Amino acid sequence: MEIKSPTGKLGVLLPGMGAVASTFIAGIEAIKLNLAKPVGSMTEMGTIRLGKRTEDRVPRIREFVPLEELENLVFGGWDINEENLYEICIRSGVLENSLVEMVRPKLESIKVWPAVFDKKFVRRLEGDYVKSAKNKLDLAEQIINDIQTFIDSNNTSSNVMIWCGSTEIFFESSEVHSTLKKFEKGLANNDPAISPSMIYAYASLKSGIPFANGSPNLSVDIPALQELALNTSTPIAGKDFKTGQTLMKTILAPGLKARQIGINGWFSTNILGNRDGEVLDDPEAFKTKEESKLGALDYILQPDLYSDLYSDYYHKVRINYYPPRGDNKEGWDNIDIFGWLGYPMQIKIDFLCRDSILAAPIVLDLVLFLDLAQRAGLKGIQEWLSFYFKSPMTLPELYPEHDLFVQLAKLKNTLRHMMDEELITHLGQDYYEDHLN
pTM, two decimal places:
0.93
Same-domain pairing of 334 and 360: no
> Which residues, including other chains, have CB under 8 Å from residue 397's CB and lie 6 or more apart?
none
Same-domain pairing of 47 and 139: yes
Which residue range forms the structural domain that includes residue 392? Answer: 9-241+356-418
DSSP 8-state symbol, 21:
H
pLDDT for 391 equals 92
Rounded distance, CA 386 to CA 391, Å? Answer: 8
Same-domain pairing of 261 and 403: no
Contact 336, 265 (CB under 8 A): yes
Same-domain pairing of 31 and 118: yes
CATH of the domain at 268: 3.30.360.10
Reduced to 3 states (helix: H, G, I; strand: E, B; else coil), residue 437 is coil
Last residue of a domain, one of 333, 352, 371: 352
Report yes or no on 341 lying in a domain.
Answer: yes
Same-domain pairing of 73 and 194: yes
Q: Is 156's pLDDT higher than 90?
A: yes
Average confidence (pLDDT) over 134-151: 98
Report yes or no on 255 lying in a domain.
Answer: yes
Q: DSSP labels for 387-415?
A: GGBSS----TTSPPP--HHHHHHHHHHHH
Same-domain pairing of 249 and 231: no
Same-domain pairing of 215 and 319: no
Same-domain pairing of 338 and 398: no
Report yes or no on 333 lying in a domain.
Answer: yes
For 304-350, how does the pLDDT look when each residue is reduced to its tens digit (9 = 90+)?
999 999 999 999 988 888 888 888 888 999 999 999 999 999 999 99
For 282-301, how does the pLDDT look when each residue is reduced to its tens digit (9 = 90+)?
777 777 667 766 778 989 99
Number of domains observed in the structure of the chain:
2
For 26-42, how does the pLDDT look when each residue is reduced to its tens digit (9 = 90+)?
999 999 999 999 999 99
Report yes or no on 4 lying in a domain.
Answer: no
CATH of the domain at 57: 3.40.50.720
Rounded distance, CA 409 to CA 428, Å? Answer: 15
Report yes or no on 371 lying in a domain.
Answer: yes
Last residue of a domain, one of 303, 333, 352: 352
Report yes or no on 102 lying in a domain.
Answer: yes
Same-domain pairing of 115 and 256: no
Same-domain pairing of 88 and 150: yes
Report yes or no on 429 lying in a domain.
Answer: no
DSSP 8-state symbol, 384:
G
Closest CA to 163 of 52, 30, 268, 24: 24
Q: Is 189's pLDDT higher than 80?
A: yes
Same-domain pairing of 233 and 331: no
Same-domain pairing of 299 and 362: no
